[in-house]
Structure 1
Amino acid sequence: MRIVITGGLGFIGLALCRRLLEAGHAVRLVDSLSPQIHGALPDVLAPEGAEVLRADVRRLGDHPEALADCDAVYHLAAETGTAQSMYRIEEYTDVNATGTAALLQALARAPRRPRKVVLASSRSVYGEGAYAAEGTGTIVQPGTRSKAQLEAGQWEPRGPRGEMLRPVPTPETLPFAPSSVYAATKAAQELLLLSAAEALGIEPVVFRFQNVYGEGQSLMNPYTGIISIFFNRARQGLEIPLYEDGLESRDFVHVADIVDALVAALQADVPPGLPMNLGSGEPTSVRMLANELLAASGFKASVRVSGQYRVGDIRHCYADLGRARDVLGYKPRVSLAQGLARFCAWAAQQPAYQDRLDAAAEELRRKGLGT
């Protein structure tokens, strides 16, 4: 098959490209090489055998060769910083939502359309994940925590009657409740694809990624990728600051497991409009993550609970993997300990980049979006 990957020179795109080439597919990588991700002078090397086109997904109409004669498209191109999206609203909406519309418009004009389009969406579309109310077990999706709650250090969401909640696996049936501009743009991507797919005669596949990490991820982007941010600071002997009380949790999934599902989707019969979660299915607190990373890297750095916050951050979310398991046979293979060991071994061989986390945090404070 001839396969196009938008955002193909990014972290997940390159990992997917290598796997597809190994399977004998022809791969075309379309990427704008964003300086925030790749640096001012990109040194990204595409795998041997891949075709590369430097193009902005928003301008695909100017590049008919980008989608020519392809059998499937993986749409990975996106801006991905949750906090940054809250003050670069137009840019995130333009790249993520308008970029998806531009892709679909280009497909509408193409003389030959692909059979399938696979979208990399995000767990952020849920806002807070699913919770069970203490005492009753009723499943609750709490709203976005207010700035007043965050200012008061009330980190844990409460139920509609003020009851205590505990996080449970988040199913795809939970409705959209985005708490950031980034999340809203990912929901828009899903809706655009599903709205246009039938008219265009293409099969849509929507994956909602949890926090993806692994070898190859950007080590210079201070707005996304908590594992790379922590590694970069620890490597330089800098303190690792934790927002809130450090007990907020995420579902960290290794890129190899994500690629397994992406490749499986090529041949799978996925019912239209059936999004699937991809993650490890396990919650890990940010405090535990920092300690595990230090153990895996061997670096010595202090970990400080800051009590600070960022507007748009959620408290807890981890994936219910039942649907992906049933449809694709998806089963994560890489444990967090294994994945961190692999990541640290790779990252230690990469150049050390200037840490910009403090500057990014200060920018949020100036804009009233964090403390």
Structure 2
Amino acid sequence: MKNILITGGAGFIGSNLAKKLVDKNYNVTVLDNLSPQIHGENPIVTSPLYNSIRNKVHFIKGTVTSKEDWLTALEGQDCIVHLAAETGTGQSMYEIKKYVDTNIGGTALLLDILTNIKHSVKKVVVAESRAIYGEGRYYSEELNQYVYPTARTEDSMSKEDFEVKYPGCRKPLKLVGTTEDSLVHPTSVYGITKQVQGQLVHLVCPTIGIASVSYRYQNVYGPGQSLSNPYTGILSIFSTRIKNRNGINIFEDGHETRDFVYIDDVVDATILGIEKEEANGHVFNVGTGVATDVLTVAKTLIKELGIDVPITISGNYRLGDIRHNYADISLARNLLGFEPKWNFANGISAFVKWVNTQEVQEDKYEISIEEMKKKGLYK
């Protein structure tokens, strides 16, 4: 397979994947709508991501919700890496139709075309998300079993009780890595759309003779991510706040954790899914298998950037956010030979070095918070 179509290929993951595939002598086509939220109003001027691929790939400006754009992009393709999506857990809770139309509707349109129109596609690789797991996987010593807590209630969080609960358990639950066969129970609209994307691809593709692969990416970061988008990417949001000499507001108590995975590792894992037949039909977690708390992230960025700004642990919270989640990557390690090369310390250093070469972006964080407050989703 030499001809690869990447939807959302001008985005953070997509552009880095495109460049690596071009270096490996693949013929890469990118379909992307160049969303102003990510690329600014004039991408040639304001989007390093777009400019990094503009003269290296066959670029089609279009949307995955357009049949005509799909038909143009699919011509002659061997493999589709479907990354195009609206992203952002918080924003998805009040722009519901937009997220469903793009993420689910765009995927359904692709599969409808592949089912009913002649094409040369042999494999579809789709991005799911760690968001589909909701609150993740825990072990209860009392019950002697793994349990999957449901979404935290506003009543509990309003009392600054942020940890997850499970019926019949009085002792604290032990956080463990989320495996691919863990319960899927998203707590946000975004998570639901990513779940359905993966289910659609794995359901339809085998019936029409196309291999399917999906990846549940953890919190992806690294050089090149949007520093102006206030809706997704805690590292970019915090970095832009710090560069503007604005304080950091830490939600909850600062001990909520995420699995931060460096962009190069994500690209390498995705290419393994394109190239290896062993990947076909499988879902893979992509992360580091290490949980890092948000307060550590803020302190590390302040130290690495060398700009001292105040940190406030506010107790604020967003409905739909999860408390903890980190990946068990055993399946990708054993089946694909995937091994993360970047730990958090090295990754943050590389990220900060890149941030220091970029123009300081306007800090739109407060605008995003006001939007959530108006919708009753930020407390």
Q: TM-score range by the shorter chain?
A: over 0.9
Are 1:127 and 1:144, in contact at CA under 8 Å, matched by a contact in 2?
A: yes
Are 2:237 and 2:365, in contact at CA under 8 Å, matched by a contact in 1?
A: yes
What is aligned with 1:177?
185
The separation in 1 between residues aligned to 2:348 and 2:20, in whole angstroms, is: 21
Are 1:222 and 1:357, in contact at CA under 8 Å, matched by a contact in 2?
A: yes
The aligned runs of 1:128-167 (5 Å cut-off) are 128-135=135-142, 137-163=144-170, 164-167=172-175
Are 2:142 and 2:169, in contact at CA under 8 Å, matched by a contact in 1?
A: no
Are 2:273 and 2:279, in contact at CA under 8 Å, matched by a contact in 1?
A: no
AA partner of residue 33 (structure 2): S
Relative to the length of structure 2, the TM-score reads: 0.95
Are 2:251 and 2:315, in contact at CA under 8 Å, matched by a contact in 1?
A: yes
User: Which runs of no fewer than 5 residues in structure 1 stay unpaired?
Assistant: none
What is aligned with 1:93?
100
What is aligned with 1:238?
246
TM-superposed deviation, 1:136: 5.4
What is aligned with 1:120?
127
SS of the residue 1:258 aligns to: helix
The aligned runs of 1:1-371 (5 Å cut-off) are 1-43=2-44, 44-47=50-53, 48-135=55-142, 137-163=144-170, 164-270=172-278, 272-371=280-379
Are 1:170 and 1:317, in contact at CA under 8 Å, matched by a contact in 2?
A: yes
Are 2:111 and 2:201, in contact at CA under 8 Å, matched by a contact in 1?
A: yes
The separation in 2 between residues aligned to 1:12 and 1:307, in whole angstroms, is: 32
Are 2:29 and 2:59, in contact at CA under 8 Å, matched by a contact in 1?
A: yes
Are 2:216 and 2:286, in contact at CA under 8 Å, matched by a contact in 1?
A: yes
TM-superposed deviation, 1:61: 3.4
Are 2:215 and 2:285, in contact at CA under 8 Å, matched by a contact in 1?
A: yes
Are 2:205 and 2:211, in contact at CA under 8 Å, matched by a contact in 1?
A: yes
AA partner of residue 136 (structure 2): G
Q: 1:258 to 1:321 in 2, by over 3 A?
A: same
Are 1:214 and 1:340, in contact at CA under 8 Å, matched by a contact in 2?
A: yes
SS of the residue 1:139 aligns to: strand
TM-superposed deviation, 1:257: 0.2
- Give 4+ residue runs of structure 1 displaced > 6 Å after superposition: none
Are 2:151 and 2:187, in contact at CA under 8 Å, matched by a contact in 1?
A: yes
The separation in 2 between residues aligned to 1:347 and 1:107, in whole angstroms, is: 41
Q: 1:60 to 1:344 in 2, by over 3 A?
A: farther
AA partner of residue 293 (structure 1): L
- Count of residue correspondences: 371
TM-superposed deviation, 1:49: 2.8
The separation in 1 between residues aligned to 2:263 and 2:74, in whole angstroms, is: 25
The separation in 2 between residues aligned to 1:238 and 1:109, in whole angstroms, is: 53
SS of the residue 2:230 aligns to: coil
Are 2:70 and 2:110, in contact at CA under 8 Å, matched by a contact in 1?
A: no
Query: Which deviates further from its counterpart, 120-129 or 152-161?
Result: 152-161
Q: 1:139 to 1:329 in 2, by over 3 A?
A: same
Q: 1:62 to 1:158 in 2, by over 3 A?
A: closer
SS of the residue 1:212 aligns to: strand
Q: 1:114 to 1:286 in 2, by over 3 A?
A: same
Are 2:126 and 2:215, in contact at CA under 8 Å, matched by a contact in 1?
A: yes
Query: Which deviates further from its counterpart, 14-23 or 266-275?
Result: 266-275
AA partner of residue 351 (structure 1): E
Q: 1:40 to 1:49 in 2, by over 3 A?
A: closer
Query: Which deviates further from its counterpart, 145-154 or 264-273?
Result: 264-273
TM-superposed deviation, 1:272: 5.0
SS of the residue 1:57 aligns to: coil
| Percent of aligned pairs sharing the same letter | 40
TM-superposed deviation, 1:187: 0.7
The separation in 2 between residues aligned to 1:249 and 1:24, in whole angstroms, is: 38
The separation in 1 between residues aligned to 2:280 and 2:43, in whole angstroms, is: 37
TM-superposed deviation, 1:274: 2.4
